[in-house]
Amino acid sequence: MTKANNLQYKRFYRMVPLPSVAVLLLLFFVPLFFTLSSAFITEEGLTFLRILEVFTDSYTVKIMLFTLWQATLSTLFSLLVALPGAYLIATYSFRGKRLILALSAIPFVIPSILVVLGFVIFFGNNGFLNRMLMSLFNLSEPPLKILYSFKAIILAHTFYNFPIIMSLVSSYWEHLDGNCESASQTLGANKVQTFLRVTLPRLLPAIISAASLVFLFCFNSFAIILVLGGGPQYTTMEVEI
């Protein structure tokens, strides 16, 4: 009786994912197949001319290169800001640590358009920062012109995405065995050498995973590029589509 029940449970648990798989096939893979097949299959048969036209068009190539460039720079700046924060969270205990970790989940919760709105309110020509500087130094024009430029895109992407890297890397860092660092320092290595030769290589899987995730977010960014880019010269593939 027990074996029969176990077999029934196994069959039941095997059947549970089937509705989800069917929905995924119907709503994602089937439309994706027909969309991709339209690039290769025409009335005349199989062809690669459409793909060649895309990759030989100067305007399309320019958009692709800019998309890769802004995503790469945004990821690098996010890493530069996030890694020191990950170090502090992983190696020190202090008040507000849980609050910082909770706030690092904001990019997963709020839409990017709210980040854009916050940047406009704070960095705009009539924003809080410019009005404060104009009042302090008695200026007639806003001294900081950050919005609607390439630096605004990078700044917004960095602000929006560095908490993701900080959270993922710090969580991985906290679970590393500290005996390797202790052994390195016992053998005469200083803290910088220990970090570069012992800690950093062990952190690379987490850093690469987090950076890849942020790169995809920046590559597919829409609202930040559309609003803060300020013109067609900063068009990405997502905006062009």
Residues 128 and 231 in one domain: yes
What mean pLDDT, rounded, does the chain reach?
87
Residues 40 and 62 in one domain: no
Query: Of 7-21, 105-119, 213-227, where does the model show the most confidence?
Result: 213-227
Residues 63 and 112 in one domain: yes
Pairing of strands 41-42, 45-46: antiparallel
CATH number at residue 155: 1.10.3720.10
Neighbours of 231 (CB within 10 A): 8
Whether residue 66 is predicted with pLDDT greater than 70 in this model: the reply is yes
Residue for token digits 């958009």? 63
Residues 13 and 99 in one domain: no
Mean predicted confidence (pLDDT) in 122-136: 89
Residues 146 and 45 in one domain: no
pLDDT at 225: 93
Query: Of 63-72, 84-93, 145-154, 231-240, where does the model show the most confidence?
Result: 63-72
Residues 185 and 97 in one domain: yes
pLDDT at 75: 97
- Domain C-terminal end among 17, 36, 54: 54
Residues 27 and 136 in one domain: no
Q: What tokens appear for 168 in the block?
A: 């993922």
- Domain C-terminal end among 10, 34, 54: 54
Mean predicted confidence (pLDDT) in 119-142: 88
**Which band of pLDDT confidence, cut at 50, 70 and 90, is reported for residue 47?**
confident
Whether residue 6 is predicted with pLDDT greater than 70 in this model: the reply is no
**Which band of pLDDT confidence, cut at 50, 70 and 90, is reported for residue 204?**
very high
Whether residue 90 is predicted with pLDDT greater than 70 in this model: the reply is yes
Residues 172 and 77 in one domain: yes
- 61 or 48, which is more confident? 61
Give the residues across from 42 on adjacent strands: 45
Number of domains in the chain: 2
Residues 133 and 34 in one domain: no
Domain around 35: 1-54
Residues 11 and 94 in one domain: no
**Which band of pLDDT confidence, cut at 50, 70 and 90, is reported for residue 201?**
very high
- Domain C-terminal end among 32, 54, 76: 54
112/31 Cα distance (integer angstroms): 27
Q: What is the pTM of this model?
A: 0.81
22/120 Cα distance (integer angstroms): 44
Whether residue 1 is predicted with pLDDT greater than 60 in this model: the reply is no
**Which band of pLDDT confidence, cut at 50, 70 and 90, is reported for residue 186?**
confident
Phi/psi-derived region of residue 148, left when phi > 0, alpha when psi is between -120 and 50, beta in every other case: left
What DSSP string runs through the chain?
A: -HHHHHHHHHHHHHHTTHHHHHHHIIIIIHHHHHHHHHHHEETTEE--HHHHHHHH-HHHHHHHHHHHHHHHHHHHHHHHHHHHHHHHHHH---TTHHHHHHHTTHHHHS-HHHHHHHHHHHHSTTSHHHHHHHHHHT-SS-S---SSSHHHHHHHHHHHHHHHHHHHHHHHHHTS-THHHHHHHHTT--HHHHIIIIIHHHHHHHHHHHHHHHHHHHHT--HHHHHHS-SGGG--HHHH-
Q: What percent of the chain has pLDDT over 70?
A: 95
Residues 49 and 71 in one domain: no
Residues 103 and 147 in one domain: yes
